[in-house]
Structure formats: structure tokens, C-alpha cells
Structure 1
Amino acid sequence: MTRVSDLAPDEAIALRMEPLRLALQGTADRMQAGMMRAAVSSIAREGGDCAAALFLPDGRLLAQARSLPLLLGSLIPAVAGVLARFPLSAMSEGDAYLLNDPWSGGTHLPDLALVHPVFQDGEVIALAAANLHHQDVGGMAAGSIPPDATEVYQEGLRLPPVRWRSAEGVRPDIDAILAANSRTPDNLRGDLEAQWAALTQGARELSQIARHTGPRFSEVCDALIAQTERMTRAALLAVPDGEWIWRDQLDGDGVDSAPVAIVVTLRKQGDALEIDFEGSAPQVRGPLNASPAAMLSAALFFMRTLAPEAPNNAGCLVPLTLKLPPGSLVNPKLPAAVNARTATVKLACNAILGAWSRAASGTGVAPHAGVATVLVLSGTRMDGVCWMFTEIIASGAGASTDAPGRAGVSTDVGNARNTPVEVIEAEAPLRVECYEICRGSGGSGAQRGGDGVRRVYRLLEGQGWIAYRGERHVGRARGARGGEPGANSVARILRVDGAIELLPARARIAWSAGDRLIIETAGGGGWGPASADATKPHVGNYP
């Protein structure tokens, strides 16, 4: 029997690559699953608004869970931000580093990234990282996503990279600061512990994997990253060279109603790709601004679609040049408000997909609805007890060359799950009176776009606040290759006295017992010219 130690160096590495890829992916996925099981807040436990990944000591992505691309991509700058402030030589076993600052590798303030060094024989061999959307980190509105914020200081506690934990445990001073700035300190502590449990699990497993792989562990990791790079470059080579532009716009910034432009240009030359957001709007007063870490999520998602069978690591980013103009919507300067960056990143991702659909290959997908409605409902019960919860509502997927878009799904950089009605009604004095598909809201075409969804909430007692962050109230998800656009989103409050109040794409408003909040999310774009029959609602896109 031939032993690995008897093989030539390149053969020995090749023999280890596939087992290591599978082991790393399994570890990342188990970290994700464990974090969700242990999470306290429903937004993470039920909605899955969290992510886990593994990195090499130099900050290169080694493996990531199959979870939420919006958070996965942003972990790369978060790890870089930690390494910039805490070099490997300053790290000790048991350390964990925390941040959320958008100008130090973070995205928006509720997303707290935690990074933990993995030691073996006294040296750091890897880093385990996890990101989780926390229920509340302070700021001017419950849930820390005020849709009318005009600067980051209104959005909550901003943390540059700090040492949250050492071998002795959580640092009391950091814990006290976090708890003092949250409306739900017990949830915050519990969700941080869920992140920590995921990281320690990942560290244990990765240490075992490294020992099993042997002394050439780092070389095999390098080979996996190089394999992903080769496969991504090969996918790019299969597409003719060219330049493609896509323009879209957001429905105001939450403060001003004027549309906000997103422009992307794809330049593909040989086995390299440039994604350039020059021409996008300058940074805005409202909270739609997206940090570079947030924008990397859109780029990483797209690059992973080029060779989805490749190992899930940093190799896919090597052929990419990402251009984000300073002082713009997609690379704002301090103190820009950023809490609603999800809408910007989703439309940016849609723009990339739309531009790619114009490539001569004739393959691709029409723009998705571009909506992940983020809703924070809070209030006070009749007995004076406060309540609050956050959820994400999906929309419609764009159609593709050979299939209709799916209805009511979280698309592109999203991958959040539906919050069950039973959980909502157990946590808050609410009744969910309707949850259904908005049939016919997807754009018509040879392949129809996916439909959005409708949610209706009734407040049962007391007073409350609604923080609503939607999109596509004015703009629509365009079709591709002759397909029609999807329908708009609509949100409104039906007051107990019968009055109806329409909500803009971003709103914060009070409501009272008996009032109903009705949300209908947009549909995705259709693909290809529609025949007479194709304009009719197509039941095949309902899951």
C-alpha cells in the first residue's frame, strides 16, 4: 500500500486536498448550525441572520458556511480589521476580538463580528470568525436600525476592534460597555456567547483537522485556494470579453425622497474581471450608505456563482478588481449613516447580475426583486413590560434562461429564513392575520419572475413603534432579454378607525392596539419576451 509520505510533494498535496476541503466545509457548516441553535434572539435563531467562516493567519478566507452571503463577505474585512490592530504576535490562546465599526471592517452596528485565533503548538494556524445581527446595540430607535438616521452616531454603539475575551473569560469592562448601550442586554450577552461557542467548536475541529492533515497543512490550504482561483479564471475565460453597464436606483434614502442611483460597469478581459461602481450616487444623508465591507459581500456572492463547484474560499476573489469611489454611496466617509445598507447591497448585487445578463453568452438571471424588508416592531404591553423583535421578509427571485423565478425567497446576498408565525406571536402582542404569496407580482416573460409575499400584523394591546426598511416602492426589478419588470412593494397601516396610511420605502411610525400593518414585497424580473400565455400568472413558481 502506498503511503502519503512515500509520494512526491505535489502528489502528497493533491491527495490531501479533497479530504481537507470536505472537512473544512463541514466545520464551517457545523459552526453555523451551532450558533443558530444557541442564539437567544429570533432574528438569529429562526431567521439565520448570522454567519461563520475560517481564515488563514494572513486573513485569507479558507472556508465559509453555506449561510448568509451578506454577512459572509463582510467577515473578510472584519478579520483584516482585527489583524491590523492586533497582529498575530499579540494574540494569546483564549482571545476573541470584537468589532462592528464600518470604518474598521464592519458593516452596520447591529452586526457584531467576533474573531478567535486557533493555536497549535504555540502558533496561530488559523482564525475562526462569526458575525451575528444583534437585537439592539443602542441608538435613537429600538433595534438599532433607525430608517431616518443621518449619522452613524444615531445608530448605536460603534466598536473598533477590541479584545472582548481572554483566557480568563469575558473582559468585564467591555461587557459593561456593551450592556449599558443595549435595550436588550441579556439577549446581547446570550447571542455573543452563541458566537463564542461556534468559534470554540470551530477551533477544536480545525486543530484536529490540521493534525490529521500533517505538517503540510498550510501548503494544502494554499493549494485549495489556488484551485478555486484556477476554476474561477477558467469560468471567466469561457465568456467573451466585453464591458456591460447596469443602472438602477433606490427609493430615496430615508430622509430625502429623491431616487438614489446605483451604476455598475463590468469589464471582463481574459480571465480577469473588474466591477466598477463609478457613477453611483455620492453618499447620502440617510442610512443607505454601504461600507466597503458590505459591498464586498455583493462582489463575493457574484464571484462564487462563476464556479460554484470550486472550494468555497478566497481564490474566487483573486481575478477580481473591485472599484468603490470614495465618498460615494458605496464607500462613504465618516460619519455617514449606514444601518439600511442591506437595500444598497442587494440592488448592487442585482446590478451586477443584470450587467452580466447582457454578456454575449446569453446565460444568466434577471434581477431579483432587490428587497429584503427589515422590520423592527417594538412597544409596551398593558402591564408595562417592553417587547421587541426583528424579522426579515423575502420577495421574488428573477427568472433565468431556463426556469421561472421562485416566489417568496431570500435571494442573492440574502439567505435569511422566514420567522415562523408562532414565534412572532409568542414573543410579542401581535397576531399575524395573513401570510401568503402576492400572486402575479413577478414580471412576465418567456420565464416569469418570482412573486413577492404579503404579511399582515395586528397589534393586540398597548402602543408600539414600527421601524420599516423596504425597497422597490417606486423603482421596479427590471426584466432581462425582453422580460417585464416585477411589481412594486407596498406597505401601509390600516388604523382601527379605518384610516389608511401608506408608508414610504423607509419609515418609523407609531401604532396602537387594533391597527394593522400590511406589507407586500416586490416581484422579480421576467426573462425573455412573453408570449400571450406567459403573461398570465404562472403557478409553477410557487414553492
Structure 2
Amino acid sequence: MPLAHEHAPDPEIALRMEPLRLALQGTADRMQAGMMRAAVSSIAREGGDCAAALFLPDGRLLAQARSLPLLLGSLIPAVAGVLARFPLAAMSEGDAYLLNDPWSGGTHLPDLALVHPIFLDGQVIALAAANLHHQDVGGMAAGSIPPDANEVYQEGLRIPPVRWRSADGMQPDIDAILVANSRMPDNLRGDLEAQWIALTQGARELRQIVRHIGPRFKEACDALLAQTERMTRAALAAAPDGAWSWRDQLDGSDTDTAPLTIAVTLRKQGDALVIDFEGSAPQVRGPLNASPAAMLSAALFFMRTLAPDAPNNAGCLAPLTLKLPPGSLVNPNLPAAVNARTATVKLACNAILGAWSQSASGTSVAPHAGVATVLALSGTRMDGQRWMFTEIIASGAGASVNASGRAGVSTDVGNARNTPLEVIETEAPLRVECYEIRRGSGGDGMQRGGDGVRRAYRLLEGEGWIAYRGERHVGRARGAQGGDAGANSVARVLRVGGAIELLPARARIAWSAGDVLIIETAGGGGWGSLAPAESAGPLVRSCP
């Protein structure tokens, strides 16, 4: 029986599809690479905390870079937010639109999205989009990720879709507002320019592609999206029908101390899938709330895993219905704080994978640690110069029936890169005294869970602030099929006088020259039980 929406393109279009797919993917990847090369802030230049993609004029995702799923998925609502406020007929050549508002297609405020219409012969033929985590966009804490925020107004400058640039150049009024609200205005301007470079590169290459493909470019693009839909629906159709649920818990915070439930149910019927987060905790006063744009990243990542060889576009979303209860942790109402949404999205993605692993078609796998520690360090040098540094620290992957989990790796929607120690010590008055795999932090089992990471930073001069956003300080990544849970995360500050200050999962504290911050991220769950005599036991050791 043929699948829904299944039809073959005509021969002329079919000949163009594979060259077009490769050209579009190459353009998206080069946009990403160009943005990283041009970025000023190390979190984008070294860590890769940015994303680039191409869209059709109606807002459908046409191609995306193979980079950071956490940001790639959120570009879809960002483009929709721009189109809702600036219809195509109102756009002009040279325009670029800016936003970060979580209720207009954004995620959290440091992630500024730019959208650029691509014109050819006076018509919009596509849209180029880029998202980048900026060093600082204001708010109550340097780095704009205050773990003690209770509402979005404390987190920084909130920007609905606005025209940032025209053919005459950057809009000076918008630029003035942006730099007046940033502690690092040169970084902000430089990183926005890096995004603009990526967009103009994408526009230049796409116009060449259209000229090469010819007048049937739109038809060929539609055929690529249809191909991805067919391949995704085929993968779903081959799986048994059913419903599978999974629950996990986020650590609480100073404002919401109780653990917070992430609940998901997958309902698969034929070639369609519902992902339903009903039962998740209500929205909270702290910053763990995740906007729908952020949650779409988790869903898009999962849908792409069903048919990984399909063209990298929005066709994979056609079989999906995503349900996010209003007023909940995964769909909060204004003015919810949202800057720590990474932990929520990662555990939500973990939950989707956990639920799917219960189906006959899913690979039996233990949960990942689900931790991407976001660390914003700032301070003042002895000469009065301000410094700021943001880093993302990975954790451990869950083991599976086939293999042990990988250590110190970004999993699921994470794909951020390691920041070299030389960069850290160049940009900030810090000495990294310990950087290693946290041996034994993965859960024991027939297949051992992946280990987390350990880092220790000593502040060398002046005073400063630590904004720490972690996860799994209380909860643990549970094992599967009798495997043990991974170890908890631990963070602490060793004061010069010898005192030790333990940090909760989310904290903002002051530190002084000589103090040492130690971060140990959680391990992934183990798979399969071992006899007591076979167990390796806990091997976790700590930095001095």
C-alpha cells in the first residue's frame, strides 16, 4: 500500500534533485563555517554555539548546516516570527531582520537570530537565517544567563522582529539600543557582523544555484522536501503502532526547590507521530522554562534520526504533531524566565529518545547525562578592565545494547565544541588547573555509561562573578536493562582561606583572586546488569 503523500517527481526534476541537495547542504555548511571564522566571541568562534540555514519564501526549512541542533530547530519559528511581522511584499533587497523574543520565535535572549531575504530579478527566492549565542545582551548578570532570574525582564534586552539592516546599511537607532544594553558592545557588533557575513555568503551562493538549476528551482525544492517526508513516513510506517511514555526530572533551584517533571508520550499510528508533553511541570519562577521554539529543536532532532539519509530539510516534520501544554515548563506564558532552557530541552530530548527506545523499532539505550553546563565567568582586572567569558561543558552519553557510552561528549541537541585552554587563559585572568575525563562517573553495567568532564579554574587577579547553570546535581541519568545510574554533577568553589562552597544546579556567586571553581559533570546511564563480582564499582575521584 503506498504511503501518504507518496509520488515520484517527473524525470526532469528528478535529475536535478541530488545535485541541488548537495549544493544546498554545502551552502548551509559554508555559511556556518564562515560565521564561526568571523565571530569575535569564543563561544561562537571556538565552541560553535551558532547555526545557519536556508528557507523557502514561505518559511519552510530548505537546508540547514550540520552543526548545533539546539539552535537549528529554533530558526524555524524565528523565520515564521519575521514573516508574521514583515510580509514578503514589505521586504527590500539588502534587508535583514533581528529578533530574540521567546514569544515571537526566539529561545533565550543571548541567542540573536538574523533573517535575510534573498532577491533575484526583483523577487524573493529564499531566506537565509543565522542564530548565534551572544556574549552579553544586558540583564541583571554579566553573560545574560542569570540563574537566579524570576522573569524575562531580568535576563536582558528582549527584541521582537525588527529591521536591523537595509540597503543603506545597519539601522543606527537599532544599533544604538543594542550597544547601550550590552556590557560587551564590541563583541555584540562583531558577532552580528559575523552573522551578516554568513547570510550574504548564503545569498550569493543560492543565487548561483538558482541560475544553474533554472526556472524549475522551486519545483526541485518542493521535490526535495517531499522526498524527506516520504523517507520519514516510510521509517515510521515500518515501526509498530503504539504509545510509549517516559518521565525525567530536572533539579530544582533556589526559587523552585522541588524536582521538575518532564513527561512525554509518543503515539505512533501508521506513518504519523504525536509527541505529547502533557504531564510536564507547570511553568516555574526560575529560568528553566523553554519556549515552543526551543522545544521544536528537540522534536526536529528526533525526527531527523528516523531517516538520517534523507535531505536535511523540514520534510521530516510533516508527519509530526507536537503538543506543548500552555502555561507549562515547555510552553510558558510571558513573563517567564527562560535563560536556562538548555537543561529542559536536553532532558526533553532524552525523554523522547527514552520513550522511543521502548518501541520494537528503537535501539535499547540508557539515558544520556543530559547536561550541557553553561558557565559565564566575568570580572574586573587590577587595571580596571572588564573581562567576560562563556563556555559550554559536556557530560557523558548513555550506554546501549551495542556499545559503551562516549565520555565528555555533547549529546542529542547539543553539538558544541570544546574551548581550548589556551583561548580561555588568553581571554580571561584564569588558569585552568584541571581538565580531564571524570573517570568512573558513567553508570556501571555490561556496557558502561559515558563519563563526564572535570574542569578547575583559578581566578588569578581582581574579583568577579560566576554564573553557573548545570543539571543532574540531584537527579541522575538512570541505567537501562539493569545498568547503574550515572554519577551526579558536582560544582564547588575552593576559597583562598580553605572554605569549600558547594553550588546547587543553578547559582550566581562572587569570587576573588586565588579562589578555584571546580565543575564535574554527570555521567550517562549504564546498560545491562552485572553479577556483583563483576561490578567495577564507583571509580569517581575528584580534583584537589
TM-score clears 0.5: yes
Residue 210 of structure 1 pairs with residue 210 of structure 2: yes
Other structure's SS at 1:112 match: strand
Distance 1:236 1:529 in 2: 31
Partner residue, 2:485: 485
Other structure's SS at 2:331 match: coil
Residue 36 of structure 1 pairs with residue 36 of structure 2: yes
Pair 207,365 (structure 1): closer, same or farther in 2 beyond 3 Å:
farther
Give the aligned length.
Answer: 532
> Is residue 128–residue 199 contact of structure 2 (8 Å, CA) maintained in 1?
yes
Distance 2:324 2:77 in 1: 14
Q: List per-residue Cα deviations over 1:74-127 (Å, max 9, x = no partner).
A: 000000000000000000000000000000000000000000001111110100
Other structure's SS at 1:507 match: strand
Distance 1:44 1:295 in 2: 22
Within a 5 Å distance, the mapping from 1:14-29 to structure 2 comes to 14-29=14-29
> Is residue 253–residue 284 contact of structure 1 (8 Å, CA) maintained in 2?
no
Distance 2:363 2:435 in 1: 34
Pair 422,533 (structure 1): closer, same or farther in 2 beyond 3 Å:
farther
Residue 315 of structure 1 pairs with residue 315 of structure 2: yes
Deviation at 1:364, TM superposition (A): 4.3
Partner residue, 1:416: 416
Deviation at 1:447, TM superposition (A): 1.6
Partner residue, 1:383: 383
Deviation at 1:367, TM superposition (A): 1.3
Pair 356,9 (structure 1): closer, same or farther in 2 beyond 3 Å:
closer
Deviation at 1:254, TM superposition (A): 4.5
Amino acid at match of 1:203: A
Q: List per-residue Cα deviations over 1:276-316 (Å, max 9, x = no partner).
A: 00000000000000000000000000000111111000010
Partner residue, 2:229: 229
Deviation at 1:354, TM superposition (A): 0.8
Q: List per-residue Cα deviations over 1:240-266 (Å, max 9, x = no partner).
A: 111111111111145221111110011
Give the aligned CA root-mean-square deviation in angstroms.
1.4
Partner residue, 1:111: 111
Partner residue, 2:497: 497
> Is residue 150–residue 337 contact of structure 2 (8 Å, CA) maintained in 1?
yes
Distance 1:521 1:486 in 2: 10
Distance 1:289 1:359 in 2: 29
Partner residue, 1:527: 527
Deviation at 1:529, TM superposition (A): 2.6
Other structure's SS at 2:410 match: coil
> Is residue 441–residue 538 contact of structure 2 (8 Å, CA) maintained in 1?
no
> Is residue 264–residue 276 contact of structure 1 (8 Å, CA) maintained in 2?
yes
Partner residue, 2:515: 515
Other structure's SS at 1:343 match: helix
What is the TM-score of this pair, normalised by structure 2? Answer: 0.96
Partner residue, 1:130: 130
Q: List per-residue Cα deviations over 1:315-365 (Å, max 9, x = no partner).
A: 100000000000000000000000000000000000111111111235143
Distance 1:205 1:533 in 2: 61
Partner residue, 2:201: 201
Distance 1:458 1:152 in 2: 31
Partner residue, 1:139: 139
Deviation at 1:66, TM superposition (A): 0.5
> Is residue 276–residue 323 contact of structure 2 (8 Å, CA) maintained in 1?
yes
Partner residue, 1:295: 295
Pair 215,143 (structure 1): closer, same or farther in 2 beyond 3 Å:
same
Partner residue, 2:4: none
Amino acid at match of 2:447: Q
Distance 2:147 2:239 in 1: 40
After TM superposition, the structure 1 stretch with the greater mean CA deviation from structure 2, 357-366 or 116-125, is 357-366
> Is residue 253–residue 504 contact of structure 2 (8 Å, CA) maintained in 1?
no
Deviation at 1:9, TM superposition (A): 7.2
Within a 5 Å distance, the mapping from 1:12-91 to structure 2 comes to 12-91=12-91
Partner residue, 2:434: 434
> Is residue 9–residue 223 contact of structure 2 (8 Å, CA) maintained in 1?
no
Distance 1:482 1:13 in 2: 52
Partner residue, 2:244: 244
Distance 1:411 1:405 in 2: 10
Distance 1:511 1:31 in 2: 39
Partner residue, 1:3: none
Other structure's SS at 1:403 match: coil
Pair 319,533 (structure 1): closer, same or farther in 2 beyond 3 Å:
farther
Distance 1:68 1:537 in 2: 35
Amino acid at match of 1:502: L
Pair 429,33 (structure 1): closer, same or farther in 2 beyond 3 Å:
same
After TM superposition, the structure 1 stretch with the greater mean CA deviation from structure 2, 292-301 or 401-410, is 401-410
After TM superposition, the structure 1 stretch with the greater mean CA deviation from structure 2, 284-293 or 520-529, is 520-529
Residue 450 of structure 1 pairs with residue 450 of structure 2: yes
Q: List per-residue Cα deviations over 1:28-54 (Å, max 9, x = no partner).
A: 000000000000000100100000000
Pair 210,331 (structure 1): closer, same or farther in 2 beyond 3 Å:
same
Pair 143,423 (structure 1): closer, same or farther in 2 beyond 3 Å:
same
Other structure's SS at 1:466 match: strand
Amino acid at match of 2:109: L
Pair 240,491 (structure 1): closer, same or farther in 2 beyond 3 Å:
same
Q: Which runs of 5+ in 2 are unaligned?
A: 1-7, 540-544
Partner residue, 2:156: 156
Residue 469 of structure 1 pairs with residue 469 of structure 2: yes
Distance 2:319 2:114 in 1: 28
> Is residue 399–residue 524 contact of structure 1 (8 Å, CA) maintained in 2?
yes
Distance 2:533 2:440 in 1: 13
Distance 2:466 2:243 in 1: 43
> Is residue 288–residue 344 contact of structure 1 (8 Å, CA) maintained in 2?
yes
Identity in percent: 87
Distance 2:517 2:524 in 1: 23
Amino acid at match of 2:457: Y
> Is residue 96–residue 114 contact of structure 1 (8 Å, CA) maintained in 2?
yes
Partner residue, 1:373: 373
Distance 2:537 2:230 in 1: 42
> Is residue 353–residue 364 contact of structure 1 (8 Å, CA) maintained in 2?
no
Q: List per-residue Cα deviations over 1:457-506 (Å, max 9, x = no partner).
A: 00111111000000000000112233221110000001111111100000
Pair 9,260 (structure 1): closer, same or farther in 2 beyond 3 Å:
closer
Pair 108,10 (structure 1): closer, same or farther in 2 beyond 3 Å:
same
Amino acid at match of 1:185: P
Distance 2:66 2:535 in 1: 35
Amino acid at match of 1:53: A
> Is residue 356–residue 362 contact of structure 2 (8 Å, CA) maintained in 1?
no
Distance 1:430 1:399 in 2: 35
What is the TM-score of this pair, normalised by structure 1? Answer: 0.96
Partner residue, 1:5: none
Q: Which runs of 5+ in 1 are unaligned?
A: 1-7
Distance 2:9 2:399 in 1: 47
Partner residue, 1:271: 271
